[in-house]
Structure 1
Amino acid sequence: MDAGEYHLDLVVGHGAVPVIVPRVAGVHAMLDSFEPIHGVLLCEGEDIDPSLYDARRDGDGEGDALSPEQLEAVRRLHPSDAAVDHEKDSIELLLARRCLERNVPFLGICRGSQVLNVACGGSLYQDVEQELHPQDDAAVCHMDYANYDGHRHPVRVLPGTPLHDWFADSLLDGDQLMVNSYHHQGVRRLAERFVPMALAPDGLIEGFYDPEAYHPGEGKFIMGLQFHPERMRKEGSDEFDFPGCAKAYQEFVRAVVAYQGKLAAAQVHLRSAVTTPHKLNQEMEKQRKVIVRSVSLAKNTYVFGNNTGARQPAEHRDGDLDAGAEFIESNTALSVQQEKRLKQMGATVRNASGYMSRLKVSEEREAAARALMAKMFVAQLASLAAFYRAMGNVCSEVLDAKLQPPSPTLHE
Structure 2
Amino acid sequence: MNPVIGITPSINEDSHTYFVNIDNMNAIVQSGGTPIILPLIASTNNINQIADMIDGLYLTGGNDIDPTLFNEEPHPKLGRINPARDEYEIALTKKMIEQNKPVLGVCRGSQILNIALGGTMYQDIYSQKEGELLQHQQNAPADHSSHYIHVAENSLLSRLVGKDKIKVNSRHHQANDKLGSALTVSGTASDGVIEAIEGDSETFVLGLQWHPENLINKGDESSKNIYAGFIQACKSK
Q: What residue number does 2:42 align with?
A: 28
* 1:83 paired to 2:80: yes
Q: What residue number does 1:183 align with?
A: 172
Q: How far apart, in 1, do the equivalents of 2:192 and 2:88 lie?
A: 30
Pick one of 222, 231, 235 that aligns with 2:205: 222
Q: What residue number does 1:129 align with?
A: 126
CA deviation map 1:115-154 (0-9, x unaligned)? 00000000000000001112x4xx211113x325236112
Pick one of 154, 165, 180 that aligns with 2:148: 154
Q: How far apart, in 2, do the equivalents of 1:177 and 1:91 lie?
A: 32
**Percent identity of paired positions between Structure 1 and Structure 2:** 29
Q: What residue number does 2:218 align with?
A: 239
* Structure 2 unaligned blocks of 5 or more: 1-19
2:172 partner letter:
H
How many Å apart are 1:9 and its aligned residue?
A: 1.7
* 1:19 paired to 2:13: no
* 1:96 paired to 2:79: no
Q: What residue number does 2:12 align with?
A: none
**TM-score, normalized by length of structure 2?**
0.83
Q: How far apart, in 1, do the equivalents of 2:47 and 2:199 lie?
A: 24
Q: Which has the larger radius of gyration?
A: 1
1:226 partner letter:
Q
Q: How far apart, in 2, do the equivalents of 1:244 and 1:92 lie?
A: 26
Q: With CA pairs under 8 Å and 6+ residues apart, which has the higher RCO, 1 or 2?
A: 2
Secondary structure (helix, strand or coil) at the match of 2:135 reads coil
Is the contact made by 1:153 and 1:179 (CA closer than 8 Å) also made in structure 2? yes
Is the contact made by 1:55 and 1:126 (CA closer than 8 Å) also made in structure 2? no
Is the contact made by 2:160 and 2:229 (CA closer than 8 Å) also made in structure 1? no
2:215 partner letter:
M
Larger fraction in helix:
1
Q: How far apart, in 2, do the equivalents of 1:194 and 1:33 lie?
A: 26
Larger fraction in strand:
2
Write out the 4+ residue segments of structure 1 that deviate beyond 4 Å after TM superposition.
Answer: none
Q: How far apart, in 1, do the equivalents of 2:30 and 2:107 lie?
A: 21
Measured on the aligned residues, the alpha-carbon RMSD in Å equals 2.0
Q: How far apart, in 1, do the equivalents of 2:183 and 2:88 lie?
A: 22
Q: How far apart, in 2, do the equivalents of 1:148 and 1:85 lie?
A: 26
Q: How far apart, in 2, do the equivalents of 1:10 and 1:129 lie?
A: 30
Taking the TM superposition and a 5 Å limit, the aligned residue runs for 1:369-408 are: none
Q: How many residues align?
A: 214
**TM-score, normalized by length of structure 1?**
0.49
Secondary structure (helix, strand or coil) at the match of 1:100 reads helix
Taking the TM superposition and a 5 Å limit, the aligned residue runs for 1:35-46 are: 35-46=52-63
